[in-house]
Amino acid sequence: MSLALPALQNDAPSIERAAASLGVDATTLGELVQLALQPVLWEAASQAAALTDIDTWERGYCLCCGAWPALAELIGTERRRVLRCVRCGSGWSWLVLLCPYCGTDDHRDLGSLELGADGSSGVETRGHRIDVCERCHGYVKAVQTFTSNSAVRLVAEDVATLYLDAAAAQAGYRRPGDADAATAGIPRLAREGRS
């Protein structure tokens, strides 16, 4: 039985049925299939990047595999924000004041949850922070870097910042938040026909 398509589409019922028939945990099976697909997705993303300018993609989800960004890299001294897909390694530029999930650009709804070294709110630590949206309650981890990470390093960075995921969940945020599936990842101005 092929689980590649259900894993790519986050088809939980299909994964659960397969896990039940195999007598294994559904979450574990889903994660293992995702890991098995990752090298193929890395190659697909690399080929897609050679064919198109992925950096100009204007949606909050990945152009190559459709996944939500796992984190944002704040690159260089100018801290250019680039959303990164951990599943395939793709990256695309994104405005700081724009939620990748619900598309809000209202500065009153967007902010950062910064953490101290002990995990408490307050002081930024190691160049890591959590960008949050009060409208959809979504979050994106943000990490400072001078150059964009490779796909393999990106996975390591995602794991190294799991404490940010825990802090965001504790504060009531989640990925991808409460985004409307019909408009998820589409900036407000694009939804209104303005760019």
pLDDT at residue 19 is higher than 80:
yes
Global pTM exceeds 0.85:
no
Distance CA 57, CA 35 (A): 25
Q: What is the pLDDT of residues 167-193, one digit of tens each?
A: 999 999 998 877 776 777 777 777 777
CA atoms within 13 A of residue 182's CA, in its CB half-sphere: 1
Residue pair 86/158 in contact by the 8 Å Cβ criterion: yes
Among 171, 174, 72, 67, CA closest to 122: 171
Mean local confidence (pLDDT), 126-151: 91
Distance CA 96, CA 120 (A): 23
According to CATH, what is the number of the domain 54-191? 3.90.1670.10
Mean local confidence (pLDDT), 159-166: 92
User: Domain-by-domain residue ranges, the chain?
Assistant: 4-51, 54-191
